[in-house]
Structure 1
């Protein structure tokens, strides 16, 4: 759970003295081996505030991969775990550009930082006074208020919420167990323009939600599902959007696909390439739409693998070298014929654990051969194996 900050800790960390202490200690190793020396060094300059300083230094280092301003921010452990990555928050801010926005669960300000300068007026509120004090440091100048998300204190704004998904026992998956409970949040703001950040595994069918659900991935990992009320969803070419997948990258341009696009994807035999769409596309149920956009077919109507002779740009695709009926013996022989030194195993629709199968293929100790990928899939009633080479398309 991390160190339990109080307001006196935050006041110290925000003070000139605290800022000086953090700067002087910023280059400490902070490793397991250096722990005793690090603690002594911080105590010498921070006194009773040493635990807060050490925790802040550790959290800032953890946050660098997630938040662009992490080197100067204040966090609690829980707040950092749930904070929206900068690129994801920036994407959402662009969707809300020009609108007045009230973040009713603002925490330490990750969303507020991206809304500022993009949205109209911005207001943040939270029940936790420590997180609010941290937000005041992290996003200076933004209006903040201590308020319960279920007791509205604003009018005529877009409402943005990120219900808490953790307690002392770990993650909570039941929408009614979130803080605040998701069904109560949706009811309180019924009729308002509303955006609610949720875990990517949320079962939206459990909710009475008539708006849009956007699945967002970043650098290959699915980060969230965001509920947008109908007033915040842009219409598609063929009607309203109910499902959207957005793929963000720290290297490449972002792209999006929706259920308002055509989904006339056929089922066909394997072609030169196998493509597994980004996880956001899969979780949003838009595999057929993605296939139609790129001229790909499905290997089977019930699995997410697509196939064709030209893979889309910017994806990890698998060039098919060989197709065979799957059995461990047949696969082992195929890999040995090709002199494989290692194998990546991807599975859809079969009860196969790659971690169990890999050592049974007995490639350990072989060297000098190619690293191959194997796609295992149920095609109709048949179990098929595709021996491939993996490529990143440009």
Structure 2
């Protein structure tokens, strides 16, 4: 969205038209919808802007729920925006630490600032991109204790502010296409600036969950967060918003429930042992936090192979930090023999889970030429370094 498109969208006509549209239907005839709006006398640029926002609002419901229907978005801003339930946890950290005025430096469309303002924190939100700053200002209009600046994070005066939140830009948009910035040194604001603030005041920094762990400062708390099975972020916390004695944390959110595994350092892997009756796949947050060993020891499990994130045990256990499977049968690891084994069992629908093997599940599924009415799940991995194929069922 460019400046001229935003101006049209923010006009009384634009906002009235946007709010009056029916819920976005991806299967609807978009050509007919455009034609109908044009017949009503709306200019083509406004129609395009409004329909683009309607589509983004529908997409944003996964992160913002019903609030999305009254917000504005940019494509890149929505991609990077924090889910509202996670943003509420960020805000809670600042509140519990006694921080009353937070600088949201690189606020994007304003998702985190919204959660902070909702618990009555004062927020100074800054965004370097002009259009995104205007979108944030619109989204945060209901909150009188929020001030939005069109300003680079590094230039914001922090006098009177006692904490900061940074979500460095990790995506760029060009020609309507949003791409990730692969090099962490190219984030805006830079990690040097963000982590440097952490030496001066309570600071939280949101990064992608796959960020190289070598960039995490030694004294910070690093918390990986997954939501309903999706690994969504790495939060790096400094000062009073970091918890004493915790350097590694895996927060697993499923629905309205949240469970956390914490430690003062990476945990040592559990010993490797033979395949048991059950196989467990740790949650992505546990894997990235390198707390697999603690999870194994807490549940009487062991590693199936060194360096591969599968656990195994002879007794079933229930944990929010792992998905469990009962091992039904060993199948041949050789692809030709595996195809024959699945055909003999009439498997036509196959879920393929894999770790430690170089295979594309979609391509393998095609090569297996599956036929039949049965459904199955297989795990392709290594046992003590050797390739194995396991027929399993979910617990």
**Structure 1 residue 252, shift from structure 2 partner:** 4.9
Q: TM-score, normalised by structure 1?
A: 0.86
Aligned ranges 1:103-114 → 2 under 5 Å: 103-114=104-115
Q: 1:284 to 1:18 in 2, by over 3 A?
A: same
Instruction: Specify the alignment match of 2:47 in structure 1.
Output: 50
Structure 1 window deviating more from structure 2 (71-80 vs 205-214): it is 205-214
Residues 135-284 of structure 1 correspond to what in structure 2 (within 5 A)? 135-139=136-140, 140=142, 141=144, 142-155=146-159, 156-167=161-172, 168=174, 170-187=179-196, 190-206=199-215, 208-235=217-244, 240-249=245-254, 251-260=255-264, 265-284=270-289
SS at match of 2:233: strand
2:386 aligns with: 382
Matches of 1:93 and 1:102, distance apart in 2: 12
- Contact residue 126 and residue 147 of structure 1 kept, 8 A: yes
CA distance in 1, matches of 2:147, 2:39: 35
Shift of 1:118: 2.8
Residue matched to 1:366? 372
Match of 1:38 in 2: 34
- Of 302-311 and 184-193, deviating more is 184-193
Q: Distance in 1 between matches of 2:306 and 2:277?
A: 19
CA distance in 1, matches of 2:391, 2:230: 25
Deviation string 1:101-142 (CA, Å, 9 cap, x unpaired) is 211111221111111243632221222343333223222222
Kindly state the Cα deviation for residue 186 of structure 1 after the two structures are TM-superposed: 2.4
Q: 1:64 to 1:264 in 2, by over 3 A?
A: closer
2:356 counterpart of 1:349? yes
Q: In structure 1, which of residues 95, 111, 126 is the aligned counterpart of residue 93 of structure 2?
A: 95
Mapped to 2, the partners of 1:216 and 1:193 lie a distance apart of 20
TM-score (norm 2): 0.86
Structure 1 portions without partners, runs of 5+: none
Q: Deviations over 1:326-380 (max 9, x none)?
A: 2224433443444433322222212223223223333x2322x3x2211121223
Rounded Cα–Cα distance in structure 2 between residues aligned with 1:242 and 1:196: 14
- Give yes or no for the alignment of 1:327 onto 2:334: yes
Distance 1:353 1:30, change over 3 A: closer
Aligned counterparts of 1:293 and 1:112: Cα–Cα separation in 2: 38
1:118 lines up with 2:115 in the alignment: no
By how many angstroms is 1:320 displaced?
0.2
Of 68, 71, 74 in structure 1, the residue corresponding to residue 72 of structure 2 is 74
Q: 1:198, CA displacement in angstroms? A: 0.9
For 1:233 and 1:378, locate their aligned partners in 2 and report how far apart those are by CA, in whole Å.
Answer: 38
Question: Which has the higher mean CA deviation after the structures are superposed, 141-150 or 60-69?
Answer: 141-150
- Please point out which of 338, 347, 350 is paired with 1:340: 347
* Runs of 4+ off more than 6 Å: none
Whether 1:311 aligns to 2:311 is: no
Q: How many pairs were matched up?
A: 379
Say which is worse superposed, 216-225 or 198-207, in terms of deviation. 198-207
SS in 1 for 2:250: strand
SS of the equivalent of 2:234 reads: strand
Of the three residues 12, 17, 22, the one matched with 1:21 is: 17
Taking the aligned partners of 1:328 and 1:361, their CA distance within structure 2 comes to 8
8 A Cα contact 1:103 1:160, kept in partner = yes
Query: Does structure 1 conserve the Cα–Cα contact (< 8 Å) formed by 2:379 and 2:392?
Result: yes
